[in-house]
Structure 1
Amino acid sequence: MHPRLGALAALRLTDPEQKVAATRALVAQLNAQPGEQPMSQHPVRTSGDDDGVPGRPERPLRVSATAVEKRSPFTPEGRAALIHSICHIEFNAINLALDAAWRFDGMPEDFYRDWLRIADEEAQHFTLLHSHLQAMGHRYGDFTGHDGLWSMCEKTKDDIVARMALVPRTLEARGLDATPLIQAKLRRVNTADAHAACAILDIILRDEVGHVAIGNRWYRWLCEREGLDPIAHYRVLYRRHEAPRLKAPFNLEARAQAGFTDEELRALAQG
Structure 2
Amino acid sequence: MPVTTLGEAARAVLLTADPHDKRRAARAFARAWRQGALAHRCDVAMPDQPAWPDRPELLSPAHMPRRRKGGSERGRIAMLHALAHIEFVAIDLAVDLVGRFGGEFPRGFVDDWIGVAADEAMHFALLDRRLRALGSHYGALPAHAGLWEAAAATADDALARLAIVPMVLEARGLDVTPAMIERFRGVGDAASAKILERIYRDEVRHVSAGTRWFGWMCDERGFNAVETWQSLVKSRFRGQLKPPFNDSARHNAGLTQEYYAVIAS
TM-score (norm 1): 0.90
CA contact (8 A) 2:230 2:260 kept: no
Shift of 1:235: 2.1
Secondary structure of 2:120's partner? helix
Show the counterpart of 2:54.
Answer: 58
**Cα distance in 2 between the residues matched to 1:145 and 1:262:** 32
CA contact (8 A) 1:60 1:145 kept: yes
Letter in 2 for 1:147: A
Gap change, CA 1:73 and 1:128, over 3 Å in 2: farther
Shift of 1:65: 2.0
Shift of 1:262: 5.0
Show the counterpart of 1:184.
Answer: 182
CA contact (8 A) 1:256 1:265 kept: no
Show the counterpart of 1:258.
Answer: 253
Letter in 2 for 1:18: D
CA contact (8 A) 2:175 2:246 kept: yes
**Cα distance in 2 between the residues matched to 1:183 and 1:129:** 14
1:85 aligned onto 2:88 = no
**Cα distance in 2 between the residues matched to 1:131 and 1:208:** 20
Shift of 1:88: 0.4
1:206 aligned onto 2:201 = yes
Among all aligned residue pairs of Structure 1 and Structure 2, give the percentage whose two residues are the same amino acid. Answer: 38
Deviations 1:108-128, CA, capped at 9 Å, x for gaps: 111112111100010000000
Show the counterpart of 2:27.
Answer: 24
Secondary structure of 1:69's partner? coil
CA contact (8 A) 2:32 2:38 kept: no
1:219 aligned onto 2:222 = no
Letter in 1 for 2:226: I
Show the counterpart of 2:233.
Answer: 238
Shift of 1:68: 2.0
CA contact (8 A) 2:247 2:256 kept: no
CA contact (8 A) 1:155 1:241 kept: yes
**Cα distance in 2 between the residues matched to 1:266 and 1:240:** 17
Show the counterpart of 1:42.
Answer: 42
Letter in 1 for 2:125: T
Number of equivalenced pairs: 260
CA contact (8 A) 1:62 1:146 kept: yes
Instruction: Please provide the CA RMSD for this pair.
Output: 1.8
Shift of 1:233: 1.6
1:25-174 pair list within 5 angstroms: 25-33=28-36, 37-39=38-40, 41-43=41-43, 45=44, 49-50=46-47, 53-71=49-67, 72-104=69-101, 105-174=103-172
CA contact (8 A) 1:7 1:98 kept: yes
Show the counterpart of 1:11.
Answer: 14
Shift of 1:17: 0.5
Unmatched tracts of structure 1, length 5 or more: none
Gap change, CA 1:114 and 1:4, over 3 Å in 2: farther
TM-score (norm 2): 0.92
Deviations 1:223-260, CA, capped at 9 Å, x for gaps: 11112222222222112123321112211111111111
Moved more, 210-219 or 243-252: 243-252
Letter in 2 for 1:110: G
